[in-house]
Amino acid sequence: MSGTDVPRGRAQAPHPSLPNEMFVKVRQHLTQLSRMMNTTDATRLLIGLLYLSRASRVASDPGVPTWSWLLSQPAERSLGLRSAVTKCLVHHLPAIEDPAAEAGAVSLVPVPPPGSEGPLHALIQAIGSTQQVGPLLDQCLWDLSSAQADGSNYFTPADMVRLMVGAAVPHDGHRVLDPACGSGGLLVETHRYVHERVGLNPTMSLRGRELHAPTSQVARMNLSVRGIEADILPPGDSLAQPESGSYDIVLANPSLNQRDWMQEEGTERHGGRPGPFGPPDPRWPEETPPRSSADSAWIQHIAHALAPGGRAVFLMADRVAGSRQVTPKRLRERLLRDDLVECVIALPRRVYGHSQAPACLWVINKDKSARPGWGVSDRRGQVLFINARRAFEQVPQSRARRLGDKNTALILSTLAAWRGLPENGAAATPYSDTVGWSRNCSLKEIADHGYNLMPTSYATEPPRPEQDTRNRIDQLKLELTEQFDQMRDLELRLLDALEEI
């Protein structure tokens, strides 16, 4: 879960359920450690210690320290602690082959610097004294996401995760995929969502893949510490080839505005995707997505991975829904022709962490007929648009925004009413359009609008002078973005032509 347009200076607040005393204590020790190594490595080191303290493991090899041994060391004997922690992490952390490093899994382990024995000892003691590791792990992942801002490798915020999983409505026994899984947050929330409803350990199949090896290792630790079984595939580019199986639920927060995603003719990239003269790719039977943008490729990759009756929820930049360029317009036309689009939600700016570009949440569905687990309303030939542009709240003592629980619940209740899906055991609430918030549209109406899928074009607010101005500004931004996209596409074509000279 990464992006390209990175917000700066996002304030991080403590996890709401984390005891203040524990948060302050761990933060003090982590700050001391961060003065000796970069913040990203210090936070990953802390996550590794959390993993050591809770994950079940086979017996250590002779000479390899255990967590119990680390915890039993007194402060006055901490001089050898640094090397012991490194040896313990190298031995016990999930092995991940890093394609970019010759040293394999060892290269992924942050090495504590000389002189860090004191903060290390304090962190180990603090972790050993806490009973609830989950909130502390959540805080670490939040910190890591912020620390990796300059690397454009964000994790999806918690309220966005709840919205995406709630919109997908996973059930026990489902096969669930996240092809850009980051720290594994969507898989963790899927497990929690189903566990809360069935009251037992879910029997679903969870699978994820992450491009970056260190983050893939974090995902494995995140799931393992919580006792969740999941198959995190070796690091790699999910777009390199079609998924090997089909899935009931696909959840994804891929890189927005990813450029140059496809290898040039005659080359291989990210795991050997066939070039233009290779066998046809079943994900795009009509035309190959342009090399200048991966957005179209991600949508078709996700749709191809769905089982009959499967559904997917994913983030996409606004321009994919509203651009008048030929390629995205043809893609929207194909999706609507196959009646795959169920709902498009216009999100507030700056609430999804990894990009400042305006974005929408898409819900696609292989079967929108009335059926158990989906709803009693037959919505074939229809699409729900929700305009949630103004559904945000300010993070206290910060300039940052978030959806918040109230707005997340409002979006999900609107979608549930449209589906005819009962909530919390009660009868389904009848759906009706709400001016400025939601609107149900037929495929014919959307076709008459040039296959535009922007919710702000359908769920429009009553005319006001300031609203007209804002709409005009949004339209100008979209047009400017399209011009930039055309320039980048022309640049890539020119470079390809020069290579042939």
d(CA 56, CA 155): 25
The pLDDT confidence band at residue 271, using thresholds 50, 70 and 90, is very low
Region 112-124: mean pLDDT is 90
> Which helix (H) or strand (E) is 205 found in, with range?
strand 205-208
Position 14 scores a pLDDT of: 44
d(CA 95, CA 101): 13
- Collapsing DSSP to helix, strand or coil, 440 comes out as strand
Position 177 scores a pLDDT of: 98
The amino acid that residue 138 corresponds to is: D
More reliable by pLDDT, 112 or 12: 112
d(CA 148, CA 200): 36
Position 451 scores a pLDDT of: 96
pLDDT tens, 34-53? 899 988 889 889 999 999 98
pLDDT tens, 220-257? 999 999 999 999 999 999 999 999 999 999 999 998 76
Q: Where are the alpha helices (DSSP H) in 169-268?
A: 185-198, 213-225
pLDDT tens, 392-431? 998 887 777 889 999 999 999 999 999 999 876 677 789 9
- With both helix axes pointing from N to C terminus, report the angle between 213-225 and 185-198 in degrees, rounded to the nearest 10: 20
Give yes or no for a contact between 113 and 37, defined as CB atoms under 8 angstroms apart.
yes
Give yes or no for a contact between 431 and 418, defined as CB atoms under 8 angstroms apart.
yes
- Collapsing DSSP to helix, strand or coil, 346 comes out as strand
Give yes or no for a contact between 453 and 343, defined as CB atoms under 8 angstroms apart.
no
CA-wise closest residue to 110 among 59, 142, 147: 147
pLDDT tens, 465-490? 655 676 667 667 666 766 666 666 66
- Tell if the pTM clears 0.95, that is, is over it: no
Judged by average pLDDT, the poorest of 12-16, 357-361, 490-494 is: 12-16
DSSP tag of 12 = -
In this prediction, what percent of the chain has a pLDDT beyond 90?
Answer: 46
382-387 and 359-365 beta bridge pairing: unpaired
- pLDDT above 50: residue 2: no
- pLDDT above 90: residue 366: yes
The pLDDT confidence band at residue 151, using thresholds 50, 70 and 90, is very low
Position 93 scores a pLDDT of: 87
pLDDT tens, 380-390? 999 999 999 99
- pLDDT above 50: residue 361: yes
Position 278 scores a pLDDT of: 59
Cα of 466 vs its chain's centroid, Å:
34
User: Please, what is the average pLDDT of the chain?
Assistant: 83
Position 353 scores a pLDDT of: 59
pLDDT tens, 194-222? 999 888 889 999 999 999 898 899 999 99
Position 257 scores a pLDDT of: 67
Strands (E), 318-437: 341-346, 359-365, 382-387, 393-394, 401-402
The pLDDT confidence band at residue 171, using thresholds 50, 70 and 90, is very high
Region 84-105: mean pLDDT is 73
CA-wise closest residue to 215 among 130, 272, 120, 141: 141
Region 110-137: mean pLDDT is 87
d(CA 440, CA 458): 9
Give yes or no for a contact between 474 and 456, defined as CB atoms under 8 angstroms apart.
yes
